[in-house]
């Protein structure tokens, strides 16, 4: 494998280039309200549990909750921050978009932990969103580069509220083979808007090494609880496994919006005339695996088969289509 080059947002549009990340400060008109919502969202579930990863019993210190899904607010009080005018204006300018549709918003809470590997966010494809396929399948779909014709353009804005040790946001604007850039704490009401489905990025180490939560340090169904004393506690089956001061937990809020260059482009998305089907997804993966001399396991249901999941994750790791 050679040096990794960026995956472009659409393989069928040669004029399409990666969007250059843009720092937004302030990120919200009322940041205190955002932090109140983060606290109100407790208890939080582990990231793997939120996305229903099969076969997982233990995980690391990453917790998540959704404020909006599928363009609809699902968390009381989040309407105003979901339709954030600062983000909407920046997305129009950054993505040269006539139509911007907020689609999802989520909170991420990271306990002291080693840095995450470089990755892309879960992509959006016509006919293959998180509703139609399991989330664990979306990452290989993005890394494979096989489905770019169906890719939906997305603006991602990540805002932080953290002034502790580490926790930088590192990203590779020119691909994994080129130098990275970083946004570092202290963070307060600052955001970075980027093309996170195509720009590799990661969360750097959070906290001091002696406090890191191991990758298998927390039960899959544990919860992160926020107490009246301001501390965060990892609770499992009624027992407190660990307790953290507020300054030791990295809070971030991720916002996503579809960005269409024109009303006609948005209409093409709406009419579902060129959506992927589950059979197409399987067939494209299977054909590519066979062309590479890799085995295709016998699969009854591609959405639940663990052997199929393991095959895709192994065959399409981060950087697979970019090398």
Radius of gyration of the chain (CA): 20
CATH superfamily of 22-322: q2cbj1_9rhob like domain (2.60.120.620)
What DSSP assignment string belongs to 97-143? -SEEEEEEEEEEEE-SBPPPPPB-PPP-BTTBSTTTS-HHHHHHHHH
Q: Are 191 and 158 in contact (CB under 8 A)?
A: yes
- pLDDT for the residue 45: 97
Q: Has residue 236 got a pLDDT over 90?
A: yes
Q: Are 186 and 199 in contact (CB under 8 A)?
A: no
**pLDDT grade for 5, boundaries at 50, 70 and 90:** low
Strands 187-194 and 169-172: unpaired
High-pLDDT (> 90) share of the chain, %: 67
Tally of residues, the chain: 323
Strands 187-194 and 200-203: unpaired
**pLDDT grade for 207, boundaries at 50, 70 and 90:** very high
Could you tell me the CA-to-CA distances from 174 to 139, 244, 264 in Å, in that order?
20, 37, 30
Closest CA to 163 of 245, 265, 106, 40: 245
Q: How far apart are CA 229 and CA 245, in angstroms?
A: 9
- pLDDT for the residue 68: 97
What DSSP assignment string belongs to 193-241? EE-TTTSEEEE--BS-GGGPPPTT-EETT-EEEE-TTS-EEEEETTEEE
Give the tokens for residue 45.
């579930």
**pLDDT grade for 18, boundaries at 50, 70 and 90:** low
Q: Are 167 and 91 in contact (CB under 8 A)?
A: no
- pLDDT for the residue 126: 87
- pLDDT for the residue 79: 96
Question: Residue for token digits 């808007």?
Answer: 193
**pLDDT grade for 9, boundaries at 50, 70 and 90:** low
- pLDDT for the residue 16: 52
User: What average pLDDT does this structure show over 94-123?
Assistant: 93
**pLDDT grade for 323, boundaries at 50, 70 and 90:** very low
What sign does the CA torsion over 37, 42, 48, 52 have?
negative
**pLDDT grade for 3, boundaries at 50, 70 and 90:** very low
- pLDDT for the residue 201: 92
**pLDDT grade for 6, boundaries at 50, 70 and 90:** low
Q: Are 194 and 156 in contact (CB under 8 A)?
A: yes
At residue 85, the 3 state secondary structure works out as helix
What are the φ and ψ backbone dihedral angles of 232, each rounded to 5 degrees?
-105, 135
Q: Has residue 11 got a pLDDT over 70?
A: no
Closest CA to 63 of 27, 108, 26, 103: 108
- pLDDT for the residue 173: 83
**pLDDT grade for 12, boundaries at 50, 70 and 90:** very low
**pLDDT grade for 52, boundaries at 50, 70 and 90:** confident
Q: What is the mean pLDDT of the chain?
A: 89
What are the φ and ψ backbone dihedral angles of 36, each rounded to 5 degrees?
-60, -40
**pLDDT grade for 124, boundaries at 50, 70 and 90:** confident
Q: How far apart are CA 203 and CA 71, in angstroms?
A: 26
User: What average pLDDT does this structure show over 229-250?
Assistant: 97
Q: Are 125 and 11 in contact (CB under 8 A)?
A: no
Distance of CA 65 to the CA centre of its chain: 12
Q: Has residue 139 got a pLDDT over 70?
A: yes
Q: How far apart are CA 149 and CA 68, in angstroms?
A: 26
Q: Has residue 7 got a pLDDT over 80?
A: no
Predicted confidence (pLDDT) per residue in 150-160, tens digit:
888 899 999 99
- pLDDT for the residue 1: 34
**pLDDT grade for 296, boundaries at 50, 70 and 90:** very high
Q: How far apart are CA 71 and CA 82, in angstroms?
A: 9
């Amino acid at each position: 494998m050679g040096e990794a080059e960026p995956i472009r947002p659409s393989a069928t549009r040669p004029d399409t280039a990666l969007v250059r990340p843009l720092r937004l400060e302030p990120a919200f008109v009322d940041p205190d309200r955002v932090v109140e919502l983060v606290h109100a969202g407790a208890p939080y579930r582990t990231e793997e549990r939120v996305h229903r990863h099969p076969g997982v019993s233990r995980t690391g210190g990453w917790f998540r909750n959704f404020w909006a899904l599928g363009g609809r607010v699902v968390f009381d009080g989040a309407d105003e921050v979901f339709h954030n005018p600062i983000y909407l204006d920046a997305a129009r300018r950054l993505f040269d978009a006539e139509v911007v549709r907020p689609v999802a918003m989520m909170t991420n809470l990271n306990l002291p932990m080693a840095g995450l590997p470089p990755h892309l966010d879960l992509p959006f494809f016509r006919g293959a969103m998180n509703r139609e396929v399991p989330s664990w399948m979306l990452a290989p779909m993005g890394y494979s580069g096989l489905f770019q014709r169906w890719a939906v353009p997305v603006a991602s804005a990540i805002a932080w509220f953290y002034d502790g040790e580490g926790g930088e946001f590192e990203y590779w604007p020119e691909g994994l083979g080129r130098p990275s850039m970083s946004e570092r704490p202290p963070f307060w009401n600052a955001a970075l808007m980027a093309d996170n489905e195509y720009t590799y990025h990661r969360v750097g180490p959070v906290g001091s090494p002696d406090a890191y939560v191991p990758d298998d340090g927390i039960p899959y169904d544990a919860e992160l609880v926020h107490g009246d004393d301001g501390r965060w506690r990892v609770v499992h089956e009624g027992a407190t496994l660990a307790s953290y001061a507020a300054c030791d937990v990295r809070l971030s809020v991720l916002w996503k919006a579809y960005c269409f260059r024109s009303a006609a482009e948005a209409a093409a998305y709406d009419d579902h005339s060129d959506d992927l089907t589950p059979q197409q997804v399987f067939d494209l993966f299977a054909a590519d695996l066979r062309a590479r001399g890799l085995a295709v396991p016998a699969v009854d249901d591609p959405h639940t088969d663990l052997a199929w999941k393991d095959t895709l994750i192994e065959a399409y790791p981060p950087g697979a289509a970019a090398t």
